[in-house]
Amino acid sequence: MMISLIPYQKFEIKTRLSQEAARQKLAEIVEPRKLMRFGLSRKHNLFEGEIEGTAFKISRIIHYRNSFLPILVGQIRDDLDASTLKITARPMWFIVLLWTFALVGVGAGGVLSGDLPGEAWLLLLFIFFFYGLPTAAFNFELYKAKKLLEERLEVANYSSP
């Protein structure tokens, strides 16, 4: 098993809704992606993105900055009298590239400076700020997105046999 340095998560959401009903519920809370959002208007759906057939690529609409907002890429699968959303949550690719560049650049600069044992506390601080905080921000937003999807897809009404 390989440990990923980039935060991402694969998960499933099971619902009693049929595949088409689950797709319709998802379509009710997703609006087309906008390049820029202006103003303080709260008249929008919970998510933005695309739904094509049973596949989707969405992210939560927020009113603050979080570069590590998860992109949810998934598929709605039919499960007899229910359906399952198979989802992979990941950060935006541009942010991943920027993050990797920062980690490698600053990390290599610290190692090449030569006084690694004397400045080990700086390395720990570096790891916290360049890995811990972004990962926590990603997981925080992912928790919110999962909760919203579960509420809208009536997951509480689903019970396994």
Q: For residue 1, what pLDDT band results from cuts at 50, 70 and 90?
A: very low
Q: Evaluate whether residue 75 is within a structural domain.
A: yes
Q: Evaluate whether residue 32 is within a structural domain.
A: yes
Range of the domain at 112: 9-156
3-state secondary structure the chain: CCCCCCCCEEEEEEECCCHHHHHHHHHHHEECCCCCCCCCCCCCCCEEEEEECCEEEEEECCCCCCCCCCEEEEEEEEECCEEEEEEEEECCHHHHHHHHHHHHHHHHHHHHCCCCHHHHHHHHHHHHHHHHHHHHHHHHHHHHHHHHHHHHCCHHHCCCC
Q: Evaluate whether residue 24 is within a structural domain.
A: yes
In this prediction, residues 80-90 reach a mean pLDDT of 92
Q: For residue 157, what pLDDT band results from cuts at 50, 70 and 90?
A: low
In this prediction, residues 30-42 reach a mean pLDDT of 76
In this prediction, residues 43-60 reach a mean pLDDT of 93
Q: Evaluate whether residue 15 is within a structural domain.
A: yes
Residue 98 has what pLDDT?
81
Asked if residue 94 has pLDDT above 90, the reply is: no
Asked if residue 146 has pLDDT above 70, the reply is: yes
Q: Which of 81-95, 115-129, 146-160 is modeled with the greatest confidence?
A: 81-95
Q: Evaluate whether residue 1 is within a structural domain.
A: no
Residue 2 has what pLDDT?
45
Q: Evaluate whether residue 65 is within a structural domain.
A: yes
Q: Evaluate whether residue 4 is within a structural domain.
A: no
Based on the structure, what is the number of domains in the chain? 1
Q: Evaluate whether residue 161 is within a structural domain.
A: no
Per-chain mean pLDDT for the chain: 83
